[in-house]
Amino acid sequence: MTLDRDQVLQAARAWAGQDPDDETRTEIELLLKDAEAGNEIALDELHERFDTRLEFGTAGLRGRIEAGSARMNRVLVSQAAAGLAAYLIERAAPGQTASVVIGYDGRKNSRVFATDTAEIMAGAGVRAILLPRLLPTPVLAFAVRHLDASAGVMVTASHNPPADNGYKVYLGDGDRGSQIVSPADADIAAHILRVAETGNVLELPRSTSYETAPEEVVDAYVAATAGPVRSFDSPLRVVYTAMHGVGWETFSRVIDAAGYPPVEPVVEQRDPDAAFPTVSFPNPEEPGALDLAFQAARDAHADLVIANDPDADRFSVAIPDTSAPAGFRQLTGNEVGWLLGWHAAQQAERDGVDGVLACSIVSSPALGEVAKAHGLRFAETLTGFKWVSRVPGLIFGYEEALGYLVNPGVVRDKDGISAALAFLDLASEAHTAGTDVAGLLGQFASTFGVYASGQLSIRVTDLSIIGRIMAALRDQPPAELGGVKVEQIDDLSDGFEQLPPTDALRFHLADGSRVMARPSGTEPKLKFYLDARSEQSEPEAAAHRIEALRADLQRIADEVIAR
């Protein structure tokens, strides 16, 4: 909705009148003053801030910290807290007191947003429990179940740019500490909108009678995470980066509890810092994000580089490789998923455990082959860990965007700390057997074939372009991609087999290759996920197929954009 001049000025005045934050209130007051004086740039900025509203969905809220309904700030957080409180009270069984546990990371305003949430929840009659200090997202996800809470809120923007923050919601009880899915997201959003439309957040009931969780919660997470791991007398030299986030303290405690020797932190990135001074984009997937870690690893002659993103729910690893420019090669999310899934399958087979290996539809199909070889079931889910974590009978799940769930009985969400420990266990076991991670990848290829994966992202400034490309792929689907016949197209928009509806297309090619096309859920881009397989006798064939697919898809996108 586009507001006219009077409407946007009125919206900005109303916002300024209820903003409890001096910084963001001053932002709006200055913009208002300039806009009222005829400054068109200021007026355009107000439209940017107020023509839309930051939408609450299955990923909660996430956006840039600034004033306005389309940004992340204390007004929006207060509305979200009050709306979520109303939802939890409505959902509570007769005689039951709704409860929520609240965590926060080291980003700007995380503690402020968490405290606002605790006070508003307590003021609404919800039992509110604030974690004792800034902690990783997996600790919050664990605490929802450990404290038997109705819900959890984690204040974090995960691996987003430094100026962002966010608000992630988990549900307890029958949801077992998983992130929200539909229809809960829509129900919560409706409650939030009612709060926004009917009141001033300064008038919301508040209470400081919320609880602070004891350190025992963190101790319990550490013990539960370290418990299942078989420690080895490992001589591996490991460099770790927390990416200026909150992972270091908890990760170092977990590996100590598991019996592993200390790892070497990247000192410049060890401690939480909301400014993220050494990285422009604190995401292990981004080019340059691991440069300091690679330097530390070269200096230490390390065998592994382990990285968590700022809230430590994602995990990445790099191994020595003399052919790589940095001397280390970062494994893809799929490669890590294959190895961890294979490791879990072998353990399940040794223990006589039945269960399911699962991954998202945009992850490599290789995990399905692992499941088949070890007599386990396999499931594919929609993109997002809120779906992976809900698979019945799950023993391991992953998505290619560096998300791994290795211990579903402890945490029902991706957990970069337990995944890092599991990978250290895997690498140490390999060393004991006389090989290394590169050797394990070679063994995987000889057992299951050579798999290659890739992506193509079409970033846009006009969101309508994404819809045009998807429409073109539906209305005039390609007969070939990368010179190979397209044998089958699955349109997932109406649901497919056991999957809920989602805006995605899956192309199956005659040589077994696969292409997934879907709009990103968090960024203005269309993403293509490419997968190919070849025999070990032709290890480069799969990589060449990926490049041919990428070139063809780029051409198709360019042709649509040029029309």
Pairing label, strands 403-405, 450-459: unpaired
- Cα–Cα dist 509/552, whole Å: 13
Q: What are the two backbone dihedrals, phi and then psi, of residue 369, each rounded to the nearest 5 degrees?
A: -70, -35
Other CB atoms within a 10 A radius of the CB of residue 309 amount to 28
- Cα–Cα dist 176/407, whole Å: 14
CA angle 156, 159, 163 (to 5 degrees): 70
Residue whose pair of structure tokens reads 């939030």 in the numeric block: 192
- Using the 8-state DSSP alphabet, how is residue 464 labeled? H
Residues pairing with 356 in the sheet: 377, 394
CB 367 within 8 A of CB 378: yes
Number of H helices, E strands in the chain: 17, 22
Sequence-distant (6+) residues with CB within 8 A of 261 are 234
Sequence-distant (6+) residues with CB within 8 A of 435 are 443
Other CB atoms within a 10 A radius of the CB of residue 202 amount to 12
Cα-to-chain-centroid distance, residue 376: 26
Is 158 known to be catalytic?
yes
Produce one character per residue of 77-110: b if its CB has 16 or more CB atoms within 10 Å, e if not. bbbbbbbbbbbbbebbeeeeebbbbbbbbbbbbb
Single out the catalytic residue among 69, 158, 360, 418: 158
List strands edge to edge, sheet with 238-241: 264-265, 238-241, 304-308, 315-320, 328-330
CB 148 within 8 A of CB 156: no
Q: How many CA atoms lie within 13 A of 398 on its CB side?
A: 30
Cβ burial of 19 (10 Å; 0-12, 13-18, 19+) is: buried
CB 418 within 8 A of CB 225: yes
Catalytic residue ranges: 158
